């Protein structure tokens, strides 16, 4: 089966975006549009957006997402790709670049899910004893409202939510429009199902720090971190510097984990400046 691809257009070097859990590719259009004069941007969505199957009963870690990414790049014939990954898409991009570094030109991590080692220890323990279904993010995903009477009703529901407090009206409207589809029962429903979102929260990849260190000397790496991120936290940034000292690390002030959506222009500018300086 040929994997679907979302093409943002543009010209120049190929730039692939690996999205965050729950966020369809088109929600990143405000981030990528400023780059399209110099780069051709595209995204291979994760299985949550193209598989008709429910999430597997067995919990396959995020290296399975990297497998799909590499398979999609091979199917569509992409080489020398600039890999951009947000959140768990960042971890999938790290793993893909570690496995096939010759396929990639550079790696840009947008608030990657490089959790502190002690956090991974807790999650690994929950995976081992079968309590990972109690992980709060997974529980919250399954409780997410999935159907609305209309796109406008969904927008009105999302607008006051704390998660979207820093989102512009236009960014939230785009998220709402591309994140919903007609529902069989009438109205609209989430494109990214709560079951798949919970599944990704229940998996993870606790060996991500080891994988990151494995990229030393292999390709240029830029990491952008939201100053108020609850995911790639400040102590994690220090561990990042130790694991990959030659990488560039930039902090986005006054924004959190979703800064690619809340401040897309400044994020794009950091990406453009760093890419322009590559040899």
pLDDT at 15 over 90: yes
CB 248, CB 222: distance < 8 Å: yes
Q: Which residue is it, tokens 């790639």?
A: 232
Averaged over 162-179, what is the pLDDT? 98
Query: Is residue 134 one of the residues assigned to a domain?
Result: no
What is the Rg, in whole angstroms, of the alpha carbon atoms belonging to the chain? 18
Give the other-Cβ count within 10 Å of 207's Cβ: 15
Give the H/E segment covering residue 10.
strand 6-10
Rounded Cα gap, residues 19 and 46, in angstroms: 8
Does 260 fall in a domain?
Answer: yes
Residue 56 binned pLDDT confidence (cut-offs 50, 70, 90): confident
- The answer to whether residue 155 sits within a structural domain is no
Among residues 238, 208, 185, the alpha carbon closest in space to that of 90 is found at 208
- Residue 36 is assigned to a structural domain of this protein: yes
pLDDT score at 40: 98
Range(s) of the domain holding residue 87: 6-116+206-276
Residue 150, in any domain of the structure:
no
pLDDT value for 53: 80
- 2 pLDDT band, cuts 50/70/90, is confident
For the stretch 136-141, contacts whose Cβ atoms lie closer than 8 Å and that sit 24 or more positions apart, written own/partner, are: 137/198, 137/201, 138/198, 138/199, 138/201, 138/202, 139/198, 141/22, 141/194, 141/197, 141/198, 141/201
DSSP at 229 = -
With respect to residue 170, please indicate whether it lies within any of the assigned structural domains: no
Average pLDDT over residues 192-208: 96
Say whether pLDDT at 5 is over 90: yes
| Nearest alpha carbon to residue 147 among 174, 172, 184 | 184
Helix (H) or strand (E) holding 267, with range, is helix 264-276
pLDDT of residue 60: 87
> Which CATH number fits the domain that encloses residue 68?
3.40.50.1820
Is the residue at 177 inside a domain? no
CA distances 152 to 155, 157, 161, 172, 180, Å, are 5, 9, 15, 11, 11
Confidence of residue 52 (pLDDT cuts 50, 70, 90): confident
**CA distance to 118, 178, 245, 278, per residue, from 214 (Å):** 20, 36, 12, 21
Please give the tally of structural domains in the chain: 1
Residue 239 has pLDDT above 90, yes or no: yes
Given a cut of 80, whether residue 249 has pLDDT beyond it is yes
Q: Which residue has the tokens 């159907």?
A: 147
Please report which confidence band the pLDDT of residue 275 belongs to, taking 50, 70 and 90 as the band edges. Answer: very high
Give me the sign of the Cα torsion angle 98, 9, 151, 168.
positive
pLDDT of 76-119, one tens digit each? Answer: 999 999 999 999 999 999 999 999 999 999 999 999 999 999 99
Averaged pLDDT, 193-198:
96
- Half-sphere exposure of residue 178, counting CA atoms within 13 Å on the CB side? 15
Buried b (16+ CB within 10 A) or exposed e, 42-72: bbbbbbbbeeeeebeeeeeebbbbbebbbeb
Task: Locate 23 and state its tokens.
Answer: 């966020």
Is the residue at 54 inside a domain? yes
């Amino acid at each position: 089966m040929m994997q679907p691809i979302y093409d943002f257009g543009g010209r120049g070097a190929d730039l692939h975006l690996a999205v965050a859990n729950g966020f369809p590719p088109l929600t990143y259009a405000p981030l990528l549009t400023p780059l399209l004069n110099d780069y051709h941007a595209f995204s291979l969505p994760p299985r949550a957006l193209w598989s008709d199957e429910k999430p597997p009963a067995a919990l396959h870690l995020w290296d399975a997402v990297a497998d799909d990414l590499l398979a999609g790049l091979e199917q569509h014939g992409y080489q020398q790709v600039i890999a951009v990954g947000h959140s768990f898409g960042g971890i999938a991009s790290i793993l893909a670049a570690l496995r096939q570094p010759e396929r990639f030109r550079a790696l840009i991590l947008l608030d990657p899910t490089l959790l502190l080692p002690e956090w991974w220890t807790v999650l690994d323990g929950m995976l081992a004893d079968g309590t990972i279904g109690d992980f709060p993010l997974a529980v919250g995903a399954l409780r997410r409202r999935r159907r609305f009477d209309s796109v406008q009703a969904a927008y009105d529901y999302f607008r006051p939510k704390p998660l979207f407090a820093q989102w512009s009206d236009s960014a939230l409207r785009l998220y709402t429009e591309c994140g919903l589809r007609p529902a069989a029962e009438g109205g609209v429903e989430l494109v990214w199902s709560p079951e798949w979102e919970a599944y990704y929260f229940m998996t993870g990849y606790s060996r991500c720090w080891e994988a990151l260190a494995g990229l030393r000397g292999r390709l240029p790496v830029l990491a952008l971190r939201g100053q108020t991120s609850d995911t790639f936290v400040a102590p994690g940034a220090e561990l990042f510097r130790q694991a990959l000292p030659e990488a560039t690390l930039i902090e986005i002030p006054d924004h959190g984990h979703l800064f690619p959506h809340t401040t897309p222009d400044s994020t794009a500018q950091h990406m453009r400046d760093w890419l322009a300086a590559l040899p």
